[in-house]
Structure 1
Amino acid sequence: MTRLKAAAAVALLATPLMAMAADEFPSRPITLIVPNPPGGLVDTSARVLSEPLSRVIGKTAVVENKDGGSGNIAYQYVARAKPDGYTLLISYSAYHVGNPAITAKLPWDPLKDFEPVALLTVATNVVTVPTSVPANNLQELSAYFKQAPGKYNYASQGIGSMSHIGTEIFKQQTGTQITHVPYRGSGPAIQDVLAGNVQLFITTPPSVMGHVQTGKLKALAVTSQKRHPMLPNVPTSAEAGLPAFQLESWVALFAPAGTPKPVIATLAANVQKALATPESVKRAEGAGIEVKFEGPEALAQRVRTDLAYWAKTVKAAGITPE
């Protein structure tokens, strides 16, 4: 048999096998790998999806937190997983498109190692400070930090997180000097902010909304063009005196590279159904985030666009690769 005929025979065999795999998928539980600890935007988004997705597919969608290494532990784990659709990544925008710009020699590639499945949620960010900080808007906060350059600290969820990159952009736009203190996720960061040990934390609503609503933290602005429905008394960054300061985070679902296209299509269709359920929408809104489905092609374009944007943003903010 010639090489050409052999290749044709393999292709003919592969097509029905792929179709059969898609027809039978999923035949067992799916694991959703989260690069963050419980709580916060990424974990919340995973749980917004997991229960309704389990009902849609008739199999359990299990959430598994593999935090640490600024997301790299989870990303590398999924990149090396079998590309069969049963091990998936709940990806955070700051890790997926921020880490490549901020971290030299990543152990994974945002384009080559992952297949886009679906966008899940989007969220604005909230500028929060402990009640001990005598500032009620972003202009007053900038003036407060400028009185003692380098004296005060800001928290982040880790190197490469949106709270890290976003605060460095804030520093650049305001000409302030604040020291970066990275934490392993929102939980420990918030504890130090509440205690007044750290003077600034810019993060997504799920992490801090309860503390803001009870008055334990002050929210000076949301980094979007309109006010957040769950925080109606918190001004936008423009209203608070810094109109150029805009930050949006997203969470999306990715599969390992090489996952069959029919499996990707089946996953995307089922995710769309799961996110459209009233349960998902209500749970997301209650956490202060927005369900927003995009399919594989739209998500792929979003990633390409954001990679270019964050590379420029990180360079302009003077963030050096680790």
Structure 2
Amino acid sequence: MNETPRTLGRRSLLGALATPLLAAAWPALAQGHWPAGKTITWVVPYPAGGSTDILGRAIAVRLGPALGATVIVDNKAGATGTIGSAFVARAPADGFTLLGTSIGPQAIVPHLMPRMPYDAVTAFAPVTLVGTIPHLLVTAASRPWNSVAELLAQAKAKPGQLSFASGGNGTILQMQGELLRLQAGVQMTHVPYKGDTPAVQDVLAGHADCMFAPVAAALPHVQGGKLKALAVTSAVRQKALPDVPTMGQAGFKDFVVEQWQAVYAPAGTPAAVVQRLHGEIVRILKDPEVLAMADKLGVTLVGSTPQQLADTQKADLATWGKVIQQAGIKAD
């Protein structure tokens, strides 16, 4: 059938009317039928038991009732967090698959893997930056140095002989060690482990000279006198360790480094759904039980806007890309 100008005009008018109606329907859907009675999958790209997993489960168990739905946590570990992240990147953008992840797969690993299974920026819709985790530069109590300056003086006197441990290649723990090495102009040997715990244990045993460790992992050993904390990577001193200087106070003013935890949805998820998820998660982060749990994990809860998470990710992509290039770091 031939279209007349009048018919085309009528259809254009109907299309123009339908667009705002459909747009208006999403907020109603986000508030009502979505995702009532259905199941949301919260993907954690790491094994169970880590801080990302514990924090994700604490949010998920409260998010379900808030949305009138069921939220299940699915651990899809492997490839430094990229397997689970890739799963979410490929999922339908309907608000039923979420990613509870950390800085590694979103801002570090993209510079290390020659063939990333997703674009860390364009494949996801940021929901919120959940929180940040500072780190301590620690060494065994038996080691002779008592400050960052003394440690680096030894590193300069014995190039390449001192070692720093990390929880694995491509982790934020390695990146901090590389950043210190670059900024101080010293040669230190990186010793990667399969996780933070074995790395801390080998520093305790004196098999590695130092490392940047999450505050929660190192604090009991520091308080027990088995580890010495030389500095903290946050902008301000930690309440639990008021005598430990920040890296800035130790002479490295551009060394504020914190691991972050965040939530993403697949790119293209309706804005109303993202906003609903953001609002509910931010409310959950104010729950006294969640605050207490985060304190034990050494997490400072944030609850940022989606745009603030996007800005943080892009800034860290640039920062760690530069460090990886300057240090000549290669993937396994």
Residues 1:134 and 1:46: Cα distance change in structure 2 (over 3 Å): farther
Q: Which moved more, 1:34-43 or 1:83-92?
A: 34-43
Q: CA separation in 1, counterparts of 2:85 and 2:220?
A: 30
Deviation at 1:55, TM superposition (A): 4.3
Contact 2:41 2:72 in 1 (8 A): yes
Q: For 2:136 and 2:159, locate their aligned partners in 1 and report how far apart those are by CA, in whole Å.
A: 23
* 136-145 or 52-61, larger mean C-alpha shift: 52-61
What stretches of structure 2 of length at least 5 have no aligned partner?
none
2:35 match: 26
Matching residue within 4, 7, 15 for 1:8: 15
Equivalent residues, number: 322
- Tell me the distance in 2 between the aligned counterparts of 1:248 and 1:197: 25
- Cα distance in 2, alignment partners of residues 201 and 39 from structure 1: 22
Distance 1:68 1:207, change over 3 A: farther
2:266 paired with 1:256: yes
Match for residue 200 of structure 1? 210
Q: Which residue in 1 is equivalent to 2:322?
A: 312
Q: d(CA) in 2 for partners of 1:312 and 1:136?
A: 30
In 1, the alpha carbon distance for the partners of 2:48 and 2:145 equals 30
C-alpha change, 1:16 and 1:245, in structure 2 (3 Å) is closer
Secondary structure at the aligned position of 2:212 is classed as strand
Deviation, 1:305, is 3.1
Cα pair distance change 1:121/1:177, threshold 3 Å = same
Shift of the alpha carbon at 1:260?
2.1
- Aligned counterparts of 1:299 and 1:207: Cα–Cα separation in 2: 25
SS at match of 2:178: helix
- Corresponding residue number in structure 2 for 1:69: 79
Q: Which has the higher contact order (CA 8 A, sep 6+)?
A: 1
Q: 2:80, 2:104 within 8 Å by CA — same for their partners in 1?
A: no
What is the Cα-based RMSD across aligned positions, in Å?
A: 2.9
Unaligned runs of 5+ in 1: none
For 1:39 and 1:190, the matched residues in 2 are separated by 17
CA distance in 2, matches of 1:147, 1:239: 23
| Residues 106, 24 of structure 1: alpha-carbon distance in 2 compared, 3 angstrom cutoff | same
Q: Secondary structure at the match of 1:90?
A: strand
Q: Per the alignment, do residues 86 and 217 of structure 1 end up closer, same or farther by CA in structure 2, a change over 3 Å counting?
A: farther
Instruction: Give the TM-score normalised by the residue count of structure 1.
Output: 0.86
Greater alpha carbon shift after TM alignment, 57-66 vs 7-16: 7-16
| Post-superposition offset of 1:67 | 2.8
Q: Which amino acid in structure 2 is aligned with residue 26 of structure 1?
A: P
CA contact (8 A) 1:138 1:242 kept: no
* Distance of aligned partners of 1:194 and 1:48 in 2 relative to their CA distance in 1, 3 Å threshold: farther
Q: Tell which structure's C-alpha radius of gyration is larger.
A: 2
Q: Indicate which of 177, 182, 195 corresponds to 1:172.
A: 182
Which residue pairs with 1:226 in the alignment?
236
Equivalent pair of 1:237/1:245 in contact (CA under 8 Å): yes
Q: 1:33-112 maps to which residues of 2 (within 5 A)?
A: 33-112=43-122
Alpha-carbon offset, residue 19 of structure 1: 5.1
Overall identity of the aligned pairs, in %: 37
CA distance in 1, matches of 2:45, 2:154: 34
Structure 1 residues 60 and 309: alpha-carbon distance in aligned structure 2, compared to 1, 3 A threshold: same
